Chain A
Amino acid sequence: MLTDLSGWTVAAVVVLGVLSVAGGIAVFVVDSMARATFALLASFLAVAGVLLAFDLVYLAVVTALMMTIEMAIMAVFMIMFMMNPAGLMPMTMVHNARGSAVTGAVTFVVLVVGIWTVDWPIGRTERPEDSTRQLGEAIMGSHMLVMLVIGIGLFATILAGTVLATARGRYDRFGADLAAKRPDDPIPGGLPR
């Protein structure tokens, strides 16, 4: 069965796919950590472009939105924790590169063999008019349980992440006997205390 994507769209999908893989490789090749982070962002944006070509407008735009914010935060942490943030002092920080490369290559080969030998069941049904509406109705209807679990998971992440990342507890803020009237915070914040 012929695809209903136009020739230009297919070409764009292929180019974006190559770009996304190239961005992914660049992440581990470039010296500068800032460039590595934004190479990863380029990879995400290329995948978002492919999703756009597949009529998944909401998922494409939300991927671009989330991943950009994530990578902007990532850049801060990369520069905070890496010894070579700007790539001005080239160094390699890898272990077991050969084993990792073999694992990555074997995984790729196994997946590719599967992809090109499976008989894909294509084109048996109708496309929805609006993929965003389909997703929204699924989230608020048949697949609501998934979103409920996601919500609880994200809430647990917020709590656990804050607890792990902060070094200060209530005894640091209010004193050993919790008697202080005003918390002793290093950053005053914007609200009266």
Chain B
Amino acid sequence: MPETETAAAAWGVVPSALLVMGAALGLGWLVAAVDRVVLTGAGAPAVLEPVRSSVRLLTEQRRTTLAPDPLLWRLGIAAVPVLAVLSLAVVPIGGRTLWSTSVDLVWFNAMEALLWAAVWLVGWGPNAVHALTGGYRFLAQGLAYELPLMFSLIAVGVGAGSLRTADILSAQAGLWFVVSMPVAFVVFLASAAAFAFWGPFGAPTGADIAGGVTSELSGVDRLLVEAGRAIFLGATAAMAVALFLGGGSGPWLPGPVWQLLKTVAVVVALVWAGRRLPVLRPDRVVEVAWTVLVPVTLVQALVVAVLLLSGFYAV
């Protein structure tokens, strides 16, 4: 298998880290803007809306609650965007990842697992009942989506014979993985919405609990958490393009353009579909996930393993 240099090795650590930061901001903006367009139907003004609301949140005065746990609260708030950017470190941008280990997929999954702790802390910190309820809802939802997400990542790893994103990209040179792993693809995108606690999986921030984990956030705190959610959603869309849609492969246009187009398409599809579904209750999600999605994703992994043995994948 051809060795692909990491971005840090090819372009230097600082420029490529800045590139990933820029990509993170771009993806976050993309998600917020598309969300705005889908929600309001407005055209051009919606594109500027994320910038405007960011500036407004930056200048807004921060309010606090009675007897909060400031240390854990701030830690959780800061962790959400940091983890989102770190998960982007193994997503290929222009064909290269910021850094590459032999376990890129597990790294991506671990960043999302650390988000469990971060979101729960955001809910715990303000010493407020709605926020804490939201935190517990997120944990319940996490128990639901984690196993199907892991099995769909395992299916990708088995198909490519590697956990490295670069190898997964090169394994899709002939045929995109979405063809042989449609279930894993759908589960991966649903999990993206679930760990960004967004759309149909927005119960942790539900209106019935006055905004849940985000209910006591204000000013820059709210900006960080909302940006982190948007970046996570965008990063997962970019990861889905790399894992299932062949990354930058496509005719006529250069790779990065294809990758960008596919990412935008996935983001638009995700936001459009997510905004048209009702919010699901976590207790229902858990039962469906454990009794339907876990077996289905296991069968998906089995199908991939059998296809691999029969020489379907050019590994």
Which residues does A use to contact B, with CB under 8 Å? 32, 34-35, 38, 41, 57-58, 61-62, 64-66, 68-69, 71-73, 75-76, 86, 88, 130-133, 187-191
Contacts and interface: CB of A to CB of B under 8 A. Distances in A.
B72 A35 contact: yes
Interface residues of B, number: 35
Given A76-B139, A132-B163, A191-B292, A69 B113 contact: yes
B287 interface: yes
Nearest to B102: A132
Contacts of B280: 190
B110 A133 contact: no
Given A64-B114, A75-B124, 19 more contacts: A34-B124, A35-B69, A35-B72, A57-B101, A58-B106, A62-B110, A64-B110, A65-B113, A66-B113, A68-B114, A68-B117, A69-B142, A69-B146, A86-B69, A189-B283, A190-B285, A190-B286, A190-B287, A191-B288
A132 B164 CA distance: 11
Contacts of B72: 34-35, 38
Q: Specify which of B72, B142, B291 lies most central, judged by the most chain A CB atoms within 10 Å of its CB.
A: B72
Interface string B259-303: 000000000000000000000110111111001100000000000
A72 B120 contact: yes
Given A35-B71, A190-B283, A190-B288, A72 B117 contact: yes
B96 to A, nearest CB: 18
Contacts of A88: 67
Nearest to B283: A187
Contacts, number: 86
Contacts of A133: 102
Contact of A64 (B113, B121, B146): B113
A65 B106 contact: yes
Interface of B: 67, 69, 71-72, 75, 101-103, 106-107, 109-110, 113-114, 116-117, 120-121, 124, 127, 136, 139, 142, 146, 163, 280-281, 283-288, 291-292
Q: Specify which of A58, A65, A72, A189 lies most central, judged by the most chain B CB atoms within 10 Å of its CB.
A: A72
Contacts of B102: 57-58, 130-133
A162 B158 CA distance: 31
Contacts of A57: 101-103
Nearest to A32: B69
Given A38-B72, A38-B121, A189 B284 contact: yes
Those 3 A-B pairs whose CB atoms lie nearest each other, nearest first: A190-B284, A189-B287, A65-B110
Contacts of B139: 72-73, 76
Nearest to A88: B67
30 contacts: A34-B69, A35-B71, A38-B72, A57-B101, A61-B106, A61-B107, A62-B106, A64-B110, A64-B113, A65-B106, A65-B110, A66-B113, A68-B117, A69-B142, A69-B146, A72-B120, A73-B139, A75-B124, A76-B136, A76-B139, A88-B67, A132-B102, A188-B284, A189-B286, A189-B287, A190-B283, A190-B284, A190-B287, A190-B288, A191-B287
